[in-house]
């Protein structure tokens, strides 16, 4: 049984240019603590995906401060994935026609942090954690969308990342699979003391599931904090351009209703 120490993550002064356009400019994230699920939100084109790729080391960028557990994270110049991070893109690439178990073993073989002495046992453990051990011999290309998402998460976990960067991981999932994957991420994040940052456009989903809300606008961080404190009507109107109200259901849970376009004051 692994025991994981609580740690904090700091990223500041993030500047990223894509195709001669400045997408992120001196963006500072708040200090994030292990065990936290962070919802990254903002309108289309504000830089959410670019931020995840910048942290993961997948695009050319400059980051003035990048530390985990008070240790400096070295930045590479070859845009190779940082082992500390596990990045899951919004659209999963089509892979070779492997079984689920083979796909995990390949992910382990390509990882510098996976176990080389007990690969089968470790792969089985991850599949069991994801509740898809029964699919070990199924062909990956014949899985449902939700099962493919779980497999991709399993391949990610083979690398033993400490920070998960998930770009709209629920966009293609139905309600049942969304519920399953979200509950799994909550459990993994707490038990393994990970930091999970996930992109979502669903403000109510963030209210229900995130510990921290990160709200972006125009390539910068507009605000951060608890989801309920960040997602107030004036801020939503400013960032998303819609008029909203927050009400509570019979169980006391907050819910955001959209009433229409935000009224611009002259």
16: tokens are 């990223």
This prediction's pTM: 0.91
pLDDT in tens, 172-205: 778 888 888 899 899 999 999 999 999 999 999 9
Q: What is the pLDDT of residue 263?
A: 80
Q: What is the pLDDT of residue 149?
A: 84
Q: Is 121 exposed, middle or buried (0-12, 13-18, 19+ CB in 10 A)?
A: exposed
Q: What is the pLDDT of residue 147?
A: 85
Q: Does domain 1-84+161-224 have CATH number 3.50.50.100?
A: no
Q: What is the pLDDT of residue 113?
A: 63
pLDDT in tens, 219-248: 999 999 999 999 999 999 999 999 999 999
At a CB cut-off of 8 Å and minimum separation 6, what does 128 contact? none
Instruction: Give the span between the Cα atoms of 160 and 145, in whole angstroms.
Output: 24
Q: What is the pLDDT of residue 1?
A: 44
- The number of residues making up the chain comes to 266
Counting as low any pLDDT under 50, the low residues of the chain are 1
DSSP code per residue over 65-82: EEEETTEEPPPPSS-PPP
At a CB cut-off of 8 Å and minimum separation 6, what does 87 contact? 52, 53, 56, 58, 81, 156, 165, 166, 167
User: What is the domain partition of the chain in residue ranges?
Assistant: 1-84+161-224, 93-160
């Amino acid at each position: 049984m692994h025991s994981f120490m609580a740690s904090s993550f700091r990223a500041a002064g993030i500047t990223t240019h894509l195709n001669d356009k400045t997408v992120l400019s001196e963006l500072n994230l708040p200090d994030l603590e292990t065990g936290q699920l962070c919802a990254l939100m903002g309108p289309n084109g504000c830089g959410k995906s670019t931020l995840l790729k910048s942290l993961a080391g997948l695009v050319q960028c400059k980051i003035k401060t990048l530390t985990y557990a008070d240790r400096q994270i070295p930045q590479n110049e070859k845009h190779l994935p940082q082992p500390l991070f596990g990045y899951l893109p919004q659209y999963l690439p089509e892979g070779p026609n492997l079984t689920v178990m083979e796909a995990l073993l390949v992910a382990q073989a390509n990882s510098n942090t996976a176990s080389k002495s007990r690969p089968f046992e470790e792969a089985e453990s991850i599949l069991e954690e994801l509740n898809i051990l029964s699919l070990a011999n199924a062909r990956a290309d014949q899985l449902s969308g939700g099962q493919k998402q779980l497999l991709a998460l399993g391949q990610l976990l083979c690398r033993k990342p400490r920070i998960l960067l998930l770009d709209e991981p629920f966009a293609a999932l139905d309600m049942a699979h969304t519920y399953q994957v979200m509950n799994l991420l909550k459990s993994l994040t707490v038990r393994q003391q990970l930091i999970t940052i996930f992109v979502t456009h669903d403000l109510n989903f963030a209210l229900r599931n995130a510990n921290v809300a990160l709200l972006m606008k125009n390539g910068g961080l507009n605000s951060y904090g608890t989801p309920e404190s960040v997602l107030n009507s004036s801020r939503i109107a400013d960032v998303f351009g819609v008029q909203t109200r927050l009400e509570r259901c019979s169980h006391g849970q907050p819910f955001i209703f959209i009433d229409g376009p935000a009224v611009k004051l002259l």
